[in-house]
């Protein structure tokens, strides 16, 4: 386990929309370098950068054309090497986004795989044995190659699926995971990882990590064996490199080699009930919605079994949001966001702050861009200051990668830094608290002290720290022995030794005597 992960607070950067330094309306690597001091000042000591590799950008870079080349719109490979160096000089680790399940249809491997003549890439992708033979249960394309066969897709038409084999084979064109050509796919992935690790990258966030072997069993055992093999390489050759999975099943991912796994926003799961429980009829029942009448037990019934089963294997990563998820500012006001982030940043595991969430950037209802569709509204340009285009770019406004929030009260970093009561300054205080107290690190202990169905507050313990949150619009109390010094609070909280009393929308961290 990389030691640095224990105290890591990540900042996710969508490179297209973070900071543009060359005036083309699109963010770039030099823009990230320019803002590294801001990231450090925020209290984040690690970055996850969404795909910055060469791509036709039909899926915003998740359709990779060349894994070893930076997309020209972001800069050069040398710019990325400089970013690694500049980040490391500030004590910041950098994860790149690894897309192992598919490539762009324009990737060199796929161009070779489409050829009628047999070659070393013929089985790099999943192909049927005939132009007229489809793939039941999977999207596929026919009639697009000289080769006699149809090829499988993972998502969009532009994303042919790489071939890691089929665990449960039903057709003669399906290869087993231990076939030499499937092993060659795995080794090609490891080669890409080594390329970037050797140049200063600190690891990878892995896109759709559970989707490699097709027709895998419910435990993803064959896909898991691939990641265990990769973990063996990392432990041997790059012991401080981290891999974090987009899997959202820690009982599978952490036991198969990943250091951490994202707790993603899936409808009805525990994380979803905290921030985005508005997808079914009947209103918004998110726990952090002050009038939502949320229930912490819905979160705990889902989270606790995951945590208890995996706390010795790795970390669960809570996110404020990501590039695929509606920003929490879509439905939560500033006070609600403060409380939500306070809990996220004091729970176990490795937390991730999505760029702009620290100032409460809003989700915008805008047209799709580069395959974003409903996700596009969470990918708008960062709002730095009151200058043109909120300081994101000097380009004409009409030339920006995406439109920005035009509201009179659109939040900016500049304005919130000047406001001692701002969301940004609250986030900075919370990250400082997390770094100050070892009990708040990823592997610190966690114990539920008070939680009840449809009741407030929620109280938990991290070592010598007692943490309590009351997101509701009503006063709440808990009959618990609580003594010590309140080292951080939002709203009004009091202790009398026998009872914890919390005013509406309050939070406290108590250091035990």
**Catalytic residue set:** 207, 246
Rg (CA), the chain: 24
Query: 354 by DSSP, 3-state: which?
Result: strand
User: What is the distance of C-alpha 22 from the center of its chain?
Assistant: 27
User: In degrees, to the nearest 5, what angle opens at C-alpha 247 toward C-alphas 243 and 248?
Assistant: 115
Contacts of 387 (CB under 8 A, 6+ apart): none
Let me know how many helices (H) and strands (E) the chain has, helices first: 12, 20
Which residue in the block uniquely carries the two structure tokens 């690790």? 197
Q: Cis ω on the peptide bond leading into residue 133 (within 30° of 0)?
A: no
Token pair of 109 as six digits: 């491997």
Token pair of 465 as six digits: 């720290």
* Cα–Cα distance for residue pair 165/223, rounded to 1 Å: 9
* Cα–Cα distance for residue pair 336/288, rounded to 1 Å: 6
* Cα–Cα distance for residue pair 14/484, rounded to 1 Å: 41
Nearest in space to 253 (alpha carbons), one of 293, 194, 212, 297: 212
Contact 379, 404 (CB under 8 A): no
User: What is the distance of C-alpha 221 from the center of its chain?
Assistant: 24
Contact 142, 131 (CB under 8 A): yes
The full DSSP string for 161-216 is BB---BSS--STTPPPTTSHHHHHHHHHHHHHHHHHHTTT--EEEETTTT-SSBT-
For residue 234, the surrounding DSSP H or E stretch is: helix 221-237
Token pair of 269 as six digits: 């799961």
Token pair of 424 as six digits: 């940004």
């Amino acid at each position: 386990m990389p030691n640095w992960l224990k105290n890591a607070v990540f900042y996710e950067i969508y490179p297209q929309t973070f900071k543009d330094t060359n005036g083309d309306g699109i963010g770039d690597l030099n823009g990230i370098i320019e803002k590294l001091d801001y990231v450090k000042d925020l209290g984040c000591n690690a970055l996850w950068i969404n795909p910055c590799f060469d791509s036709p950008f039909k899926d915003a870079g998740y359709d990779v054309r060349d894994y070893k080349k930076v997309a020209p719109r972001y800069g050069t490979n040398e710019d990325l090497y400089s970013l690694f160096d500049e980040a490391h000089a500030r004590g910041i680790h950098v994860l790149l986004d690894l897309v192992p399940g598919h490539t762009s249809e324009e990737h060199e491997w796929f161009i070779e795989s489409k050829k009628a003549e047999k070659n070393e890439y013929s089985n790099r992708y999943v192909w049927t044995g005939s132009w007229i033979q489809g793939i039941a249960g999977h999207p596929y394309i026919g009639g697009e190659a000289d080769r006699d066969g149809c090829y499988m897709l993972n998502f969009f038409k532009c994303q042919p699926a790489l071939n890691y084999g089929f665990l449960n084979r039903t057709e003669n064109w399906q290869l087993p995971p231990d076939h030499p050509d499937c092993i060659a796919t795995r080794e090609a992935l490891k080669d890409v990882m080594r390329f970037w690790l050797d140049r200063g990258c600190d690891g990878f966030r892995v896109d759709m990590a559970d989707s490699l072997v097709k027709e895998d069993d419910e435990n993803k055992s064959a896909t898991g064996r691939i990641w265990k093999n990769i973990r063996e390489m990392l432990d041997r050759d790059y012991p401080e490199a981290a891999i974090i999975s987009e899997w959202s099943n820690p009982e599978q991912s952490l036991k198969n080699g990943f250091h951490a796994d994202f707790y993603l926003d899936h409808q009805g799961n525990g994380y979803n009930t905290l921030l985005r429980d508005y997808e079914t009829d009947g209103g918004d029942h998110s726990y952090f919605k002050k009038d939502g009448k949320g229930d912490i037990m819905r979160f705990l019934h889902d989270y606790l079994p995951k945590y208890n089963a995996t706390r010795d294997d790795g970390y669960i990563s809570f996110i404020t949001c990501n590039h695929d998820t509606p920003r929490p500012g879509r439905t939560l006001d500033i006070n609600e966001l403060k409380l939500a982030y306070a809990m996220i940043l004091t729970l176990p595991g490795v937390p991730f702050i999505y760029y702009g969430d620290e100032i409460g950037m809003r989700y915008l209802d805008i047209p799709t861009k580069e395959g974003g569709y409903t996700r596009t509204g969470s990918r708008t340009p960062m709002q730095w200051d009151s200058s043109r285009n909120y300081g994101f770019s000097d380009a004409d406004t009409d030339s920006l990668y995406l439109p920005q929030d035009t509201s009179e009260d659109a939040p900016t970093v500049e304005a919130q830094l000047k406001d001692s009561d701002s969301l940004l300054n609250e986030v900075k205080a919370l990250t400082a608290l997390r770094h100050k107290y070892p009990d708040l690190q990823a592997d610190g202990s966690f114990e539920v002290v008070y939680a009840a169905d449809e009741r407030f507050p929620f109280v938990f313990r991290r070592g010598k720290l007692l943490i309590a949150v009351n997101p509701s619009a009503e006063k709440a109390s808990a009959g618990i022995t609580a003594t010590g010094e309140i080292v951080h609070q939002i709203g009004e909280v009091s202790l009398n030794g026998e009872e914890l009393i919390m005013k509406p929308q309050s939070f406290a961290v108590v250091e035990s005597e």
